[in-house]
Structure 1
């Protein structure tokens, strides 16, 4: 039941919470409500500083837009630069993913992003959950030398993808880390960890809403909101894991 903890955060406040609960890593992103997008260099630098030398590692999500993961030439050029820029800003690693028009992993694209990382840790994000063959996708990630995969077992919530998570852990054979994530809460984190994964990934977030009075975007009705990391939610997940470990 001993697993690493990774928290998806968007700012220095999230990093401080991750540090307080003893997380091994943060996945630094922005726009969690859109599934996450690449954060700014200023955010990366400040979050890295907030973590300090003994705090959680900072792994930066590289995703130039919302939607799917089939990217064109210009989007790949952006991602390659963002990978290099994130690492230059102090990140310990990057989180990437891409697929071809058939839905399979884009092996050539992943090689380009891996090479841009120059030997730094690379995580394959939840694009694996949108591929027709997650086990085959895991094998590609392992062959490319990626450090880990973040997966929900192909389900919207990791607790509903346990059978696939178990199969991924068996296929990984200890040669690539399997990290479970998506919708994990205190109520199910022990069950997910029990699948034998190397780490669990969670956001422990809550939404802050503000009525700004005017429409600011295509999906806005004048009520704006943003998600923040919640200390109580994060602590409850850690407490649930510790209770299960002690049982």
Structure 2
């Protein structure tokens, strides 16, 4: 495994935190609804995850995102985000993961400063809102000027492996002053290649889908009862093992795809 590269596991509950501890991850990004790109977790989920993290020795960084869809928020939504940031830090989170864009699709500097300030001394990460901006390098520089700790990015692609050239450019532009964490669709097959770009961290979800069927539709986005996603220990172990061995390609038939 490349020296000094951190591992962050995207999880939705305390069971996912236990998986992170089992595979030696440095931290978790705690969210709910990873199938939607992740939303702010519930207070109970946060409390139980923080307690579990203390016992397994990982940090908890809380995603603050009030809804699915884009990242341009109105005054009500920003008020929710600010309060969620404050409450996450007060509950014991090590950091928060945030992102807000203006009406033109650029980083909303005023909103980001407001949320950064709400986090106090906790670590602040800019999430993949950067990947839908017109100029990720300019967005990175804005995040650096705001004093953020790191940026989670796929290099502007749906999956990080397809944004690998931009990831290299972001690493160079960061100049060691802000961390670059590669994430989205990271698997055992791509982990080493992404690590070799020089990023500071890898973000992965190692999740599997549990499907359920039923004749009563439970929501506009569901087909019947629907299913849910859960953190899978074996998938996480496979990725960490491949990274440690320096394996850049493994048999595709053994992979469990991740979308976050």
Deviations 1:67-116 (A, max 9, x none): 00000000000000000011111111000001011111001110000000
Poorly superposed stretches of 4+, deviation over 2 Å: none
TM (norm. structure 1) is 0.97
Shift of 1:53: 5.4
Structure 2 CA distance for aligned equivalents of residues 212 and 117 of structure 1: 42
Residues 1:156 and 2:182 aligned together: no
8 Å contact kept, 2:64–2:96 = yes
Structure 2 CA distance for aligned equivalents of residues 33 and 235 of structure 1: 21
Shift of 1:51: 1.2
> Which residue in the other structure is 2:15 paired with?
13
Structure 2 CA distance for aligned equivalents of residues 196 and 223 of structure 1: 43
Query: Which of residues 232, 244, 247 is equivalent to 2:246?
Result: 244
Q: Secondary structure at the match of 2:85?
A: helix
> Which residue in the other structure is 1:124 paired with?
126
TM (norm. structure 2) is 0.92
> Which residue in the other structure is 1:187 paired with?
189
Query: Which of residues 90, 93, 96 is equivalent to 2:92?
Result: 90
Q: Secondary structure at the match of 2:70?
A: coil
Structure 2 CA distance for aligned equivalents of residues 58 and 111 of structure 1: 21
Query: Which of residues 45, 66, 75 is equivalent to 2:47?
Result: 45
> Which residue in the other structure is 2:141 paired with?
139
Shift of 1:54: 5.5
**Which ranges of structure 2 fall in alignment gaps of 5 or more residues?**
248-260
**Which ranges of structure 1 fall in alignment gaps of 5 or more residues?**
none
8 Å contact kept, 1:44–1:90 = no
Root-mean-square deviation (CA), in Å? 1.0
8 Å contact kept, 2:18–2:56 = no
